[in-house]
Amino acid sequence: MNTPVEGFSKRSKAEKIDWIAQHYTKDPEAAKRILEQYWNTDPKVQKLHDEFIENTISNYYLPFAVAPNFLINDTLYAIPMAIEESSVVAAASKAAKFWLGRGGFKTKILGTEKVGQVHFMYRGNIQTLHTFFEELKPELRKSVSDITGNMEKRGGGIKEIQLRDLNDQMEGYYQLHCTFETLDAMGANFINSCLEQFAKTLKDEAQKYEAFSEEDKNLEVVMSILSNYVPNCLVRAEVSCQVSQLDKDPVAAEEFASKFVQAVTIAKLEPYRAVTHNKGIMNGIDAVVLATGNDFRAVEAGVHAYAAKDGRYTSLTHAAVEGDTFKFWIEVPLALGTVGGLTTLHPLVKLALEILQNPSAKELMELVAVAGLAQNFAAVRSLVTTGIQKGHMKMHLLNMLNQLGATETEKQQLVEHFKYHVVTNASVKEALEKIQSQ
């Protein structure tokens, strides 16, 4: 039976690897070989990776790809994507090529406001608290001047500080609800540093405020933290063309447009469908967010909260036929950065941003939204025409053949074979066994 380990973080990497292999794997030597196989051969790069997080024992690699031919606001891009799922990059590339000849993608930033909150408890007179807050606001800003100075010089900083009364939800519960502009930085550390100073100033000034009773002066700060829900840090991406441009056959084009709009409407109405619909959007969004060193967990949380902002989980994308024009668009909250964090440390992140022509945070928001829209267009297009499995399973074919131990020659034969046959686990296994038996 394994026992707890003391001082694990203080051990060398070799000692950590040896301990985990000995205690938690069936074949310790094989486990150690796998871990060492994925170290970077450049010691400096490996040291850099080791210092990103604690207790590193190896690197976990994802495929790093590019999806070309994205025409966005009349500029051509190749979009880097880091993802393991078959067909995502192919689908994005196919959608990009489709819209390349139809005017491309158009984008617009609708807002860049980010949010942080100081949560505190106060059970005294509400009007006295409001008066205190109005007097406190200038002092709150002054208290973080050393933190905000550089950001303000570049045009960012604190936008607004509000007192929010949430007594109706929990007795005595209030917030300092703060909004920020962080420019090209995602801004998490900046926002949290400001909030923690706000909390300290709030407590200190409450102790001095004469209108408070002795009990009121001891208001309780529960926590200070940014929010990953950023409904006003919003970007729109869209495509449009004449319905007749959707297919060479006018009848087929009209039918496709009608079914496409119906499919998106179903995703608006039916949460079971909306979740999978939006997951497909996030295939594109997450892949670019990850490739550019941003926090995909924060993006996921904020996006899904936004999808439920009206009290029902619904589609993030919208489609319509207006006259003879087909329109497809997305509005999505994306708090991203192009400076700070991994953006200046991880070599592949720096390369990804270079491939994207070193975008600002606003430009990156636009590129990421386009990737999500393209992914969704490709998925819905498949669903209402050939079905999702035809393209997905063919992209998954090589993974299946690798799992079955096929040789390079066998792979070549079977890739050719399945250009004309349905790909399933059973059919691939049967076809491989037939070749091997011959």
The boundaries of every CATH 3.30.70.420 domain in the chain are 114-227
Tens digit of each residue's pLDDT (9 = 90 or more) over 85-112 = 888 999 999 999 999 999 999 999 999 9
- More confident: 183 or 342: 183
The predicted pLDDT at position 243 comes to 97
Q: Write out the two tokens for 44.
A: 């400096």
Nearest to 147 by CA among 186, 184, 203, 196: 196
- Using an 8 Å Cβ cutoff, are 99 and 176 in contact? no
Q: Which pLDDT value is given to residue 426? A: 83
- In the prediction, which pLDDT does 399 show? 75
% of the chain with per-residue pLDDT over 70? 97
295 is catalytic: yes
Annotated active-site residue in 196, 295, 363, 366: 295
Which pLDDT does position 394 carry in this prediction? Answer: 57
Residue 75: the pLDDT is 98
**Span 25-61, pLDDT tens digits:** 999 999 999 999 999 999 998 998 898 999 999 999 9
Q: Residue count of the chain, please give it.
A: 438
What's the predicted TM-score (pTM) here?
A: 0.89
pLDDT band at residue 315 under the 50/70/90 scheme: very high
pLDDT given for residue 391 in this prediction:
57
* Residue range 214-228, pLDDT digits in tens: 988 989 999 999 999
Dihedral sign of CA atoms 339, 340, 341, 347 in order? positive
- Could you say which of 32, 114, 346, 392 is catalytic? 392
Start and end residues for every CATH 3.90.770.10 domain found in the chain: 64-106+232-385
Q: Is 50 a catalytic residue?
A: no
Percent of the chain at pLDDT > 90 equals 81
- Residue 45 φ then ψ, to 5°: -65, -40
Catalytic option among 18, 49, 50, 85: 85
Q: Output the average pLDDT for the chain.
A: 93
Catalytic annotation, pick one of 279, 350, 362, 429: 279
- The answer as to CATH 3.40.1350.10 being correct for domain 64-106+232-385 is no
* Domain 114-227: CATH architecture, name and number where available: 2-Layer Sandwich (3.30)
44 is catalytic: no
47 is catalytic: no
Rounded distance, CA 132 to CA 137, Å?
A: 9
pLDDT for 437 equals 84
pLDDT at 360 exceeding the cut of 70: yes
